Structure 1
């Protein structure tokens, strides 16, 4: 079956990414590394390296290793609160990375200009319309609007609401990719018809054969239903912790304890707010590593989106992409 209609709706997003399909992969720390990124790009999607807490030297190695596995375009996701953001931008420039995705808050002064000066296209997350407009004025090349159904760090509003509110206002100004809770091609077709240039999926790719995540991590995804992917709870209003969506397990209690510990350090004046938030970030990086790499899915953080219930088996990336495209085409054909 041909994917002509879907391809036509995806044409703008695919041209922007330099890919066959406008399906981006969400950047997942420890999961989105050279093997999965290269496999997604080789299969016609757009892989994205999750820099996360990597040092500039580690990112340098990861980009080079990814290039050895694919000659197709891929992106690099950088977190705005990373203390070495400036050096990470230099590493991307050195490798002529075509697309940089900046996640977490407004880009710090100068970072946006430096990314664009390297010749890279800049993609940012916009969790609200006002922020989207501000980012567009500041010169970003594309936006991702991601709803609270997503895995990992999440905002408070659902994907369906964000899409309705934002696409009519901004989709004609630049490519907008919709993310959060997408597990099937039917939903992809719907968002494309609403004006999205493409979509971003994370959870759906975790059980790809090419993904290096521990078998225990993948098994947890295959067993889970949507209601198992719950958001973390903030216990101290002075510590504005961005909620994280993950599968329910023993580590939820560990995170509550970690927040109490950091809140107490704030109380005692032992740490400043910025340092406190970095400690929380490092906690997540460690907890996620325990689950993804070591396979400790009870005490580690099994970050997953609510679409996890639609992940049924381990299969190659090419099959996942082909299924999504076929489902989208069928959905469009039914609508006539």
Structure 2
């Protein structure tokens, strides 16, 4: 019986390796698991821990200057000899300089996020010897990016934390995975278990990107208050910011509801009242709304102010039950994936 069990386990692990081999080969990692790029969180400690655990860490450049990014890359390389990537925001005013910093320090993969990258930027990345990864919120855009030279796609559902689109990963996967086979496609949004990852691998995904589980890991530099909020949170607590009036657009951001989210609603209502009363111009009111969250993520992540800060989290936050080391998280995901494959085999080919 033990021999049969061990054989089943070995076969399931071989199947998992075969399913995400395209992702592993593309990333140069043992596991096709990317760390989501989270501002103030995805820095040297967490990124190196994910790569050292067999996954693929990604530095969140965010609003960093080229000099600050260089410092973070060098510090990360001192903590891991394994490959990792850098996530760059395409709207950053110093994008070209940031790309050059990555290339000069031999960063293997560059994720171009926050907008549609230009063909020139993609060529600059590839000509410099790095792999170019882009986000595809729709099939048409995915095809366009591939024609422009993007070498891998990430499709992120609305279940994710932070800035999100309107479509769930479940639907995006059905729309995109059957039709994009030229490049690896990584799935993201609401993923917190290995069996869920397997389900997308079987649909054609090359791997998965996770953020929320890693944000609450031991190696994450996020404040303990931030991690405790994640551990206590449920899926329904991770809500998307609400827009009160279409004349004043609000970028949808998913995070744990707190005093700040309630205050934001009142702030919008006050700006709307002042605008309708003629006390403030429309543009000024829009700026007041947009500036409400300025520095809010840092307040929560770094300072631990979980009442007045921004608690960006995906709906997978309900699966954060304890604060674990990154290596334990990746091992858990693999074991869950293997167990799922063994269960599937038992259902498809039941013992006679």
TM over 0.5: yes
Change (3 A) 1:23 1:220: same
Q: Look at both structures and tell me which one has the larger radius of gyration over its CA atoms.
A: 2
Shift of 1:238: 4.4
Q: Distance in 2 between matches of 1:180 and 1:317?
A: 19
Does residue 1:299 correspond to 2:312, yes or no? no
Q: Does 1:268 align with 2:277?
A: no
Q: Does 2:327 correspond to 1:318? A: yes
The whole-number CA distance in structure 1 between the counterparts of 2:270 and 2:124 is: 37
Moved more, 10-19 or 227-236: 227-236
1:153 and 2:160 correspond:
no
Give the secondary structure class of the aligned counterpart of 1:234: coil
Q: In 2 relative to 1, CA 233–8 (structure 1 residues): closer, same or farther, beyond 3 Å?
A: same
C-alpha deviation, 1:214, in angstroms: 0.3
CA offset at residue 254 of structure 1? 4.1
Counterparts of 2:92 and 2:123, CA distance in 1:
17
Q: Give distance in 2, aligned partners of 1:260 and 1:58.
A: 38
- Could you tell me how far apart the structure 1 residues matched to 2:126 and 2:270 are? 40
Moved over 6 A (4+): 260-264
Task: Label 1:9 to 1:284 Cα distance change in 2 as closer, same or farther (>3 A).
Answer: farther
Shift of 1:113: 1.7
Report the number of matched residues. Answer: 330
Query: 1:137-148 counterparts in 2 under 5 A?
Result: 137-148=147-158
**Residue 28 of structure 1 aligns with which residue?**
38
- SS of residue in 2 equivalent to 1:168: coil
Contact 1:155-1:242 within 8 A present in 2 as well = no
Alpha-carbon distance in structure 2 between the residues aligned to 1:304 and 1:225: 10
Query: SS where residue 110 of structure 1 aligns?
Result: helix
Cα distance in 1, alignment partners of residues 226 and 160 from structure 2: 17
Among 58, 73, 83, the residue aligned to 1:63:
73
Report 1:148-187 matches (<5 A). Answer: 148-170=158-180, 172-187=181-196
Q: CA separation of 1:206/1:232 partners in 2, compared to 1, >3 Å: closer, same or farther?
A: same
Distance in 1 between the 2:122 and 2:244 partners? 33
Give 5+ residue unaligned stretches, structure 2: 1-8, 346-352
Q: Confirm or deny: 8 A CA contact 2:46 2:221 kept in the other structure.
A: yes
Give the superposition deviation at 1:285: 5.7
| SS in structure 1 of the partner of residue 142 of structure 2 | helix
Counterpart Cα distance in 1 of 2:80 and 2:245: 45
Q: Any idea what the Cα deviations from partners look like across 1:93-151, whole Å, max 9, x if unmatched?
A: 11111100111121146222211221111111101111111111111000000000000
Partner of residue 340, structure 2 = 331
Q: Is the 8 A contact 2:119 2:149 kept in 1?
A: no
Cα separation, 2, equivalents of 1:269 and 1:316: 48
Q: How does 1:44-63 map to 2 (within 5 A)?
A: 44-63=54-73
Normalised TM-score (structure 1)? 0.92
**1:76 paired residue number:** 86
